[in-house]
């Protein structure tokens, strides 16, 4: 029997899950059309769950690599950045049983990211979808500018480098950060992960009702919707406690 998820990304096999077909379709359309775009969502809004779902839906055709910049604050130079960046990518590929034969000491600056993407494509024959969570934690402005300019250069020749899409994910909007540095990230192609609608809250509760036979009274459903305001974490927490 599944349950209400109260922490971490939702596992569809063990937790009730609300589909977000409109957002998912828009994200997949962007990826199909070689777009580089941004995603924003507040904490506990289901952002990570949605992104992991994108990984599942694209992994047969492309190679999604989902990393986080959560620990990138405090990086001082290009060599340190590219070393940490490469470690994260190698770790993610290893989890997928993919070996690319890259030696970290061979790469010393941000501009060599294109060589890394080339190596990955040579090993897998799949175009890369690079997803970077917690992008706002990257607090070295000089390094970030170099990274964004490198991505912009790759974007102009993306079919050569086989970098199908780059997705920058953050808690808030990145428009101020990207305005001067990253023309590929068109602000019009920004996705926001909203809280649940009332219908989605009721869908979540009905999944529990169908699987357990335990019914939420209409007034209780209304109060869950009213008190949690559709915030996914709070909605699941309230439902779980009840």
* Domain edges within the chain: 21-192, 198-241
Local confidence band at 222 (pLDDT 50, 70, 90 cut-offs): very high
Among residues 211, 207, 241, 239, the alpha carbon closest in space to that of 223 is found at: 239
* Residues 69, 188: Cα–Cα separation, whole Å: 24
Q: pTM higher than 0.75 for the full model?
A: yes
**Total residues found in the chain within this entry:** 242
Q: What is the pLDDT of residue 183?
A: 64
Q: What is the pLDDT of residue 31?
A: 96
Q: What is the pLDDT of residues 103-112, one digit of tens each?
A: 777 888 899 9
Q: Which residues of 30-53 are buried (b: 16+ CB within 10 A; e: fewer)?
A: bbeeebbbbbbbeebbbbbbbbbb
Q: What is the pLDDT of residues 8-39, one digit of tens each?
A: 788 889 999 998 899 999 999 999 999 999 99
We find that the CATH architecture of domain 21-192 is 3-Layer(aba) Sandwich (3.40)
């Amino acid at each position: 029997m599944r349950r209400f998820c109260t922490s971490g990304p939702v596992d569809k096999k063990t937790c009730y899950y609300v589909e977000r077909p409109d957002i998912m379709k828009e994200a997949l359309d962007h990826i199909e059309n070689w777009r580089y775009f941004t995603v924003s969502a507040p904490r506990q809004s289901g952002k990570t769950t949605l992104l992991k779902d994108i990984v599942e839906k694209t992994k047969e055709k492309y190679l999604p690599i989902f990393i986080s910049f959560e620990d990138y604050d405090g990086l001082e130079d290009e060599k340190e950045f590219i070393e940490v960046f490469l470690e994260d990518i190698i770790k993610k590929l290893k989890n997928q049983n993919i070996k690319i034969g890259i030696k970290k000491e061979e790469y010393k600056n941000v501009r060599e990211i294109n060589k890394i993407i080339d190596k990955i494509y040579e090993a897998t024959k799949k175009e890369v979808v690079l997803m970077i969570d917690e992008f706002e934690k990257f607090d070295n402005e000089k390094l970030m500018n170099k990274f964004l300019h490198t991505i912009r250069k790759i974007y102009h020749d993306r079919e050569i480098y086989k970098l199908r899409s780059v997705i920058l994910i953050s808690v808030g909007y990145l428009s101020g950060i990207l305005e001067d540095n990253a023309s590929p990230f068109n602000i019009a192609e920004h996705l926001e992960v909203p809280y649940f609608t009332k219908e989605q809250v009721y869908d979540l509760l009905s999944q529990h009702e169908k699987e357990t036979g335990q019914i939420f009274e209409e007034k209780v459903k209304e109060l869950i919707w009213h008190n949690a305001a559709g915030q996914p974490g709070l909605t699941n927490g309230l439902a779980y406690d009840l």
